[in-house]
Structure 1
Amino acid sequence: MSEVLRRRLLLVLAALSTRLALLGTDLEQEKLRLMAALSGLLTAWLLGATALLMAVLALLLLCPEPWRWALASGLALALGLAAWRCLVHVQAVLSSGQPFAATLAELQRDRDALGGGPSAAAQGD
Structure 2
Amino acid sequence: MTTFQPDFSLQTERQGGVVTIRVTGDLEYGVSDELVELVREELVPPAGRSGPRELRVDCGATRFVDSMGLSALLMLRRIADDAGVRLVLEHFPDALLRLMDMTGTLQYLTGTESAREAADPAPSPRAD
TM-score of the aligned structures, taking structure 2 as reference length: 0.22
Q: Which gives a bigger RCO, structure 1 or 2 (Cα 8 Å, sep 6+)? A: 1
Give the structure with the larger strand fraction: 2
Give the structure with the larger helix fraction: 1
TM-score of the aligned structures, taking structure 1 as reference length: 0.22
